Amino acid sequence: MTELRLHDTMAREKRVFAPADPKRVTMYVCGPTVYNRAHIGNARPAVVFDVLARLLRHVYGADSLVYARNVTDVDDKIIEAARAEGVDPSVITARYEAFYNEDMGALGVQLPNIAPHATAHVGQMVAMIARLIETGNAYEADGHVLFHVPSDPDYGALGRRDREAMIAGARVEVASYKKDPADFVLWKPSPEGVIGWDSPWGRGRPGWHIECSAMIAEHLGKTIDIHGGGLDLIFPHHENEIAQSRCAHEVAPLARYWVHNGFLSMAGSEKMSKSLGNVVLVNELLEQGHKGEVLRFALLSAHYRQPLEWSEGLVAQSKATLDRLYRAAGDGEGEADAGVLDALADDLNTPLALSRLSAIEDGAVLRASARLLGLLEEDRTAWFQGAGDARIDGLVAARTEAKARRDFAEADRIRAELAAEGVLLEDGPQGTIWRRA
């Protein structure tokens, strides 16, 4: 069996991956908060962990992985968006979850096994909060329930920040009802007219952090193999998840491996984020005519833990490389190349894996290897010609006939006519194929 190595954020090093049960590998990745369209930075973790899921299924078996990616469908931004439109929050969340799945699907991201929604697990969250109150790790105050950070002596192990940095980084609300400035909200009251649920502490709604802890325990177990997400989630979100789960589950660790992807930025800018306004939406890139597989290739062109600078040049280079690979790809079924598999097994080294694709001479092996990365999924003709065009097919056939009767002037005229329309011809041993530039 192929040996996988993953960089574990908690250990600060690459570790050999050994699941607790090779027949049931568990992975949870923090998914979207569904109030807006996804930008290309949001797509990076979706694509990265899709590759990891494909790799785990390849190594341990097609049915071995239980992959959960949550949907946050109760949040202040969702409430604000619903209020602005005068609709129920469920209208906003249903719309943007559908958009998210559509956009990620266009990038070749397969749906997870489980997509738990926060609003469907409020009962589990209330039960976990009650348990934390029983253990002395949480307390009720002024209609809120808060996790008492000093009650957990191991708090901060993931991010390894000092206390003052954690308080500043969490941007926690200063409130008179807190026992400690670092304490964070597990439950908060919902005013009249705002979405909420009944609880032992009054009508309210859960804090963001508790939802993941409750849904992991419900669907995957107290301790999972892999927990993933972006670097920006290490603190406070994942730190708080760890504390809640550990204290609720008799110090059982939440995850055995913590895997985090790096930021994506616009060329010459900071990290891409909606709050900064420097975003490029996935659907906008698709509407501009970029293929989803090209965008996927671009997202995999840098190692997942490293920053990635997004630019038109990166997209153009990704398209050119994929065109070259599609020309070389076969249509049969082959075995994945050992070099590509080894690169992915070494902490998802996608740049090395992509470079090794170009060295594969067997077309069937090339296609099988690329599919580990979610690439070369289209038929070669469809890749270059899209839905096709009967008129262009006719002109290509007429040019072939002209060449056969040695009327090279007519053949050149047809080539020039098509080139003027942005259609390029490529002559090969199997005949002539055309593609749009």
User: How do residues 125-134 score in pLDDT, each as one tens digit?
Assistant: 999 999 999 9
Helices (H), 107-184: 122-134, 163-170
Omega prior to 236 cis, within 30 of 0: yes
| Residue owning tokens 């708090």 | 155
| CA separation for the pair 282, 126 (Å, rounded) | 36
Q: What is the pLDDT of residue 434?
A: 87
Cα end-to-end span (Å), the chain: 43
- Write down the pTM of the prediction: 0.90
User: Nearest CA to 281 among 427, 424, 99?
Assistant: 99
Q: Give the count of beta carbons closer than 10 Å to the beta carbon of residue 160.
A: 14
* Domain ranges across the chain: 5-261, 305-377, 383-436
- pLDDT, one tens digit per residue, over 383-427 is 888 766 788 888 888 999 999 999 999 999 999 989 988 888 888
- Residue 224 per-residue DSSP state: E
- pLDDT, one tens digit per residue, over 198-252 is 999 999 999 999 999 999 999 999 999 999 999 999 999 999 999 999 999 998 9
- Domain spanning 305-377, CATH architecture: Up-down Bundle (1.20)
Q: What is the pLDDT of residue 435?
A: 84
- Residue 301 per-residue DSSP state: S
Which fold would CATH assign to domain 5-261? Rossmann fold (3.40.50)
Residue 173 has pLDDT above 80, yes or no: no
| CA separation for the pair 347, 305 (Å, rounded) | 9
Residue 172 has pLDDT above 60, yes or no: no
Range scoring the smallest mean pLDDT among 20-24, 70-74, 142-146, 423-427: 423-427
Q: What is the pLDDT of residue 278?
A: 78
Phi, psi of 26 (to 5 degrees): -110, 135
Contacts of 360 (CB under 8 A, 6+ apart): 328, 337, 340, 366, 369
Q: Are strands 264-266 and 308-310 parallel, antiparallel or unpaired?
A: parallel
| Residue owning tokens 């040019």 | 399
| CA separation for the pair 92, 73 (Å, rounded) | 9
Residue 274 has pLDDT above 80, yes or no: no
| Residue owning tokens 């096709």 | 388
| CA separation for the pair 290, 293 (Å, rounded) | 8
- How confident is the model over 176-184, as a mean pLDDT? 93
Phi, psi of 382 (to 5 degrees): -65, -35
| CA separation for the pair 95, 97 (Å, rounded) | 6
Q: Give the count of beta carbons closer than 10 Å to the beta carbon of residue 49.
A: 26
User: Nearest CA to 71 among 117, 103, 124, 121?
Assistant: 117
